């Protein structure tokens, strides 16, 4: 169709436009939907497993598989959203958020951190893969700009930032044109060429639109998101919703749905190619109790059940282990280097959670970094000026809470801990294990001025432990839900599920 209209899409001779039929002075530009092109790039990368860049360096999908396996084995993610659903993408091919989260800067940062900082044996030589992921992440940002106030690659195309995005697009065009498979055949010439050619067409199309619309002062800037097909997909989704999500409406049903939508001021909902980055991953309610230091009967029962109470009198028939729990500070419960850096990174988010519940200014001051000799490696690696740097005492409490939860998982043989007041049991155990003479020493004078029943150090420890435990248990719940959903076919077929009762 492009050739019949007069457009050329050969990478060596690209001309993605043709004269307007009624006015030869106007150009009509062609564009393949960027969201679908990103999925095709992911599909080609994952299915083939290996690509080569222009320098002959190998780009491996195996690095992402190894990263996912590492995160699953350690029980913590390295500041990215990669999970089994991204690796087993063929079961959910139409979800663009899975493709966007795989080809993202957070995954590239995790691979680079494992290679350069942790020096793990599974990640040497991943530089080419990191470069590949970053390039398509930045390209997707350029072609998905939604707001005129956004910065960096997400900013709209305008004259003032021309020298920022235009040279980068030229670099990307050369890079994609030189990508080959393992046999040396250019990806733009293989059977899986559509995604790669689609990005090349988009580069030349938006450069042409800039020349025709911005340089002629027709527009002040171009928001590239306006050119993808989310809008029509949202409309189709609204039509399906009017028929109780019927994928195959009759003509009469479509006309009725269309009339109904004409009477509405806007079409709501989300299309399948919108990036779902606004999901609340971590949430802490307002129900944190910071004044109750006493152990309730239910709390003691839970701590006995999971072997958290160290007193010999607590061992009964309901205890999963028949010996005293080892001290969580001992070497047998030491965290790996991977967990150490991830826990320190999460501690920064814990600080922000605690500050919403602790209003004492002096207590808030001791939560952030006051020792320049102690800086978490992952925080340093990821920080671009806005990350919270937790103090060493906060990190130690989070580490102790992580060890406590790891012990529970050991007792339950890896099963998700459950039961009434499990959070309170973990928190009370951490409070008992913390050496109060060693933490928050800056508050020694401050707690003298407070009442005996309102010890600020006790309160800080409880809120920190409970905040971290809520994050960890939420993550464990997400993992369990993902395991339980593997046998479901609802996301693969939409009609046959009626016979599978899903």
- What per-residue confidence (pLDDT) applies to 281? 25
Spatial distance between the Cα atoms of 398 and 382, rounded to a whole number of angstroms: 19
Confidence at 307, pLDDT banded by 50, 70, 90: low
- What per-residue confidence (pLDDT) applies to 239? 87
- What per-residue confidence (pLDDT) applies to 232? 85
Q: What is the pTM of this model?
A: 0.81
- Weakest mean pLDDT among 26-40, 105-119, 443-457: 443-457
Q: Is the pLDDT of residue 43 over 50?
A: yes
Q: What are the φ and ψ backbone dihedral angles of 125, each rounded to 5 degrees? A: 80, 20
Confidence at 33, pLDDT banded by 50, 70, 90: very high
For CA atoms 76, 78, 83, 88, give the dihedral sign.
negative
- What per-residue confidence (pLDDT) applies to 194? 94
Average pLDDT, the chain: 82
Tell me the Ramachandran region of residue 123: left when phi exceeds 0, alpha when psi lies from -120 to 50, beta otherwise. alpha
Within 8 A by CB and 6+ apart from 407, the residues are 306, 307, 308, 325, 328, 333
Written as six digits, the tokens of 328 are: 């969580």
Q: DSSP letter string over 170-209?
A: HHHHHHHHT-B-TTS-BGGGSTT-HHHHHHHHHHHHHHHH
Q: Is the pLDDT of residue 468 over 90?
A: yes
- Give the position of tokens 């360096």: 57
Written as six digits, the tokens of 245 are: 């999500």
403, 335 contact by CB (below 8 A): yes
For the segment 444-462, the average pLDDT, to the nearest whole number, is 77
What is residue 452's three-state secondary structure? coil
- What per-residue confidence (pLDDT) applies to 269? 56
- What per-residue confidence (pLDDT) applies to 283? 29
Domain boundaries, the chain: 6-227, 230-262, 297-484
Q: Is the pLDDT of residue 61 over 90?
A: yes
Beta carbons within 10 angstroms of residue 202's beta carbon = 26
What is residue 25's three-state secondary structure? strand
């Amino acid at each position: 169709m492009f050739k019949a209209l007069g457009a050329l899409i050969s990478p060596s001779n690209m001309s993605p436009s043709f004269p307007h039929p009624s006015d030869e002075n106007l150009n009509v530009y062609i564009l393949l939907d960027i969201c679908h092109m990103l999925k095709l790039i992911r599909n080609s990368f994952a299915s083939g497993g290996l690509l080569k860049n222009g320098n002959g360096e190998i780009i491996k999908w195996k690095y992402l598989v190894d990263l996912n396996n590492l995160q699953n084995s350690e029980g913590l993610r390295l500041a990215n959203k990669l999970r089994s659903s991204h690796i087993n993408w063929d079961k959910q091919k139409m979800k663009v958020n899975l493709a966007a989260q795989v080809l993202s800067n957070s995954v590239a940062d995790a691979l680079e951190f494992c290679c350069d900082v942790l020096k793990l044996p599974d990640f040497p030589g991943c530089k080419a893969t990191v470069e590949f992921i970053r390039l398509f992440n930045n390209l997707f940002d350029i072609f998905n700009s939604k707001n005129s106030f956004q910065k960096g690659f997400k900013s709209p195309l305008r004259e003032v930032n021309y020298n920022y995005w235009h040279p980068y697009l030229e670099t990307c065009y050369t890079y994609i044109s030189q990508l080959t498979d393992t046999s040396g055949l250019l990806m733009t010439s293989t059977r899986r060429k559509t995604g790669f050619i689609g990005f090349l067409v988009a580069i030349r199309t938006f450069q042409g639109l800039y020349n025709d619309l911005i340089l002629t002062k027709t527009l002040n800037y171009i928001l590239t998101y306006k050119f993808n097909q989310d809008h029509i997909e949202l409309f189709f989704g609204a039509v399906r919703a009017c028929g109780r999500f019927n994928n195959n409406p009759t003509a009469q049903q479509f006309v009725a749905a269309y009339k109904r939508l004409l009477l509405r001021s806007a079409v709501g909902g989300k299309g399948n190619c919108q990036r779902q980055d606004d999901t609340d991953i971590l949430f802490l309610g307002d129900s944190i109790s910071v004044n109750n230091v006493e152990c309730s009967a239910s709390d003691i029962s839970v701590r006995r059940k999971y072997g958290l109470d160290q007193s010999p009198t607590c061992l009964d028939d309901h205890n999963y282990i028949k010996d005293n729990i080892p001290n969580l500070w001992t070497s047998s419960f030491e965290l790996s280097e991977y967990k150490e850096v991830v826990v320190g990174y999460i501690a920064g988010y814990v600080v922000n959670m605690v500050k919403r519940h602790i209003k004492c200014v002096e207590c808030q001051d001791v939560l952030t970094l006051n020792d320049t000799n102690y800086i978490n490696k992952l925080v340093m690696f990821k920080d671009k000026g806005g990350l919270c740097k937790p103090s060493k005492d906060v990190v130690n409490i989070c580490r102790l809470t992580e060890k406590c939860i790891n012990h529970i998982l050991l007792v339950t043989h890896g099963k998700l801990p459950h039961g009434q007041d499990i959070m309170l049991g973990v928190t009370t155990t951490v409070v008992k294990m913390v050496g109060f003479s060693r933490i928050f020493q800056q508050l020694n004078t401050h707690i003298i001025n407070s009442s005996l029943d309102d010890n600020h150090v006790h309160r800080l420890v409880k809120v920190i432990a409970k905040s971290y435990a809520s994050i960890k248990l939420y993550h464990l719940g997400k993992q369990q839900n993902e395991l339980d959903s593997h046998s479901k076919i609802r996301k693969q077929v939409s009609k046959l599920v009626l016979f599978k009762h899903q």
